[in-house]
Amino acid sequence: MEIFYKTKKLAKVLNSSKLIDKNYGASANKLKIRLDDMAMADNLEILMGLPGRHHPLTGDRKGQFACDLEHPFRLIYEPANEPLPTDENNSLIYSEVTIVEIIEVKDYH
């Protein structure tokens, strides 16, 4: 998948193993694995089947997805294809989502 980042600062940190270690401590190793998984997956459908419990969010985060890091932190991202691939029911077609934007790493609970 193609990966974009919400901010330049986030891109700088998440593209550097050293900065990931410095900024995310106990979650660093899992974060690196999740980022590698994202880069290697062809689409969101494949990503959803990988370890990390990738799942759609609800409420004020509807349209975003998250995966588990070291509890309680999550990697939060959203599909970034333009236009978003949807079916006749306006549901996202996971197999056609090939671009994501990473929003943040956060404990949103």
Query: In CATH, what number is assigned to the domain containing residue 35?
Result: 3.30.2310.20
pLDDT of residue 108: 83
Kindly list the distances between the CA atom of residue 71 and the CA atoms of 1, 31, 95, in Å, as whole numbers in the listed order. 25, 12, 28
Helix runs in the chain, H state only: 8-14, 17-24, 28-40, 44-48
Q: Any idea what the Cα angle at residue 67 is, between residues 56 and 79, rounded to 5°?
A: 50
Q: Are 44 and 79 in contact (CB under 8 A)?
A: yes
State yes or no: pLDDT of 109 exceeds 90. no
| Domain coverage including residue 75 | 2-106
Confidence (pTM): 0.95
**pLDDT tens track for 42-92:** 999 999 999 999 999 999 999 999 999 999 999 999 999 999 999 999 999
Domain total for the chain?
Answer: 1
Work out the mean pLDDT of the chain and round it to a whole number.
97
